[in-house]
C-alpha cells in the first residue's frame, strides 16, 4: 500500500540560509526593523528563535528554523525589505512555511517569550 510515511517532514530548508544565521545578526535586524516589519513578521521569527534555542528541539527542526531565520536576516532576498508594503511578504511566507513544519516543537514558553519581547518593542 505505497511507501511508509517518513518521520521527517517534506519541507527541505535551504541550508545556505541556516549558515547565514547568527544571534547577533538576528537581534540586529529584528530590533532595527521592528516597527517597520511589524508584529506579523516578527512574531513567527521570535517563536522560532526561542524554539531553536531550546535543547529539546530536534536538530532537523532547528535546521528548518535557522534556515527561515537566516533568510529573514539576509540583506538581499526575493523582495527587498525596503519595498513599501510588500518588503517583508517573502520573509513572512518563508517563516509561515517553516512554522507549519515545526509547529509541534514551538512550546507555550517560546510563544510567551515572543509575546513578551513584542510587548516590550511595541509599547
- Which contacts qualify for 51-54: CB closer than 8 Å, 24 or more apart? 51/102, 51/105, 51/106, 51/107, 51/110, 54/105, 54/107, 54/110
Residue 83 maps to a domain: yes
Percent of the chain with pLDDT over 70: 72
Position 13 in a domain: no
Query: Please, which residues have CB within 8 angstroms of residue 61's CB and are 6 or more apart in sequence?
Result: 51, 52, 101, 102, 105
What's the domain count of the chain?
1
Q: Is residue 57 part of a domain?
A: yes
Q: Is residue 12 part of a domain?
A: no
Question: Does some domain include residue 94?
Answer: yes
Mean pLDDT of the chain: 78
For 53-74, what is the mean pLDDT?
91
Is 86 a domain residue? Answer: yes
- 8 A C-beta contact, residue 44 and residue 92: yes
Q: What count of Cα atoms within 13 Å lies in the side-chain half-sphere of residue 35? A: 2
In which domain, by residue range, is 54 found? 35-121
User: Mind listing the pLDDT tens digit for each residue in 67-110?
Assistant: 888 888 876 654 554 444 455 667 778 888 899 999 999 999 99
Q: Is residue 109 in some structural domain? A: yes
* Inside any domain, residue 11: no
CB atoms inside a 10 Å sphere around CB 66: 23
Q: How far apart are CA 54 and CA 11, in angstroms?
A: 21
Amino acid at each position: 500500500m505505497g511507501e511508509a510515511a517518513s518521520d521527517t517532514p517534506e519541507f527541505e530548508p535551504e541550508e545556505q540560509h541556516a549558515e547565514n544565521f547568527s544571534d547577533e545578526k538576528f537581534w540586529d535586524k529584528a530590533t532595527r526593523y521592528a516597527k517597520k516589519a511589524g508584529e506579523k513578521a516578527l512574531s513567527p521569527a521570535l517563536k522560532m528563535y526561542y524554539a531553536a534555542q531550546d535543547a529539546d528541539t530536534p536538530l532537523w527542526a532547528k535546521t528548518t528554523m535557522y534556515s527561515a531565520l537566516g533568510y529573514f536576516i539576509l540583506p538581499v532576498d526575493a523582495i527587498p525589505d525596503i519595498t513599501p508594503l510588500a518588503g517583508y511578504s517573502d520573509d513572512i511566507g518563508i517563516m509561515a512555511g517553516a512554522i507549519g513544519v515545526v509547529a509541534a516543537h514551538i512550546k507555550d514558553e517560546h510563544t510567551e517569550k515572543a509575546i513578551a519581547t513584542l510587548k516590550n518593542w511595541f509599547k
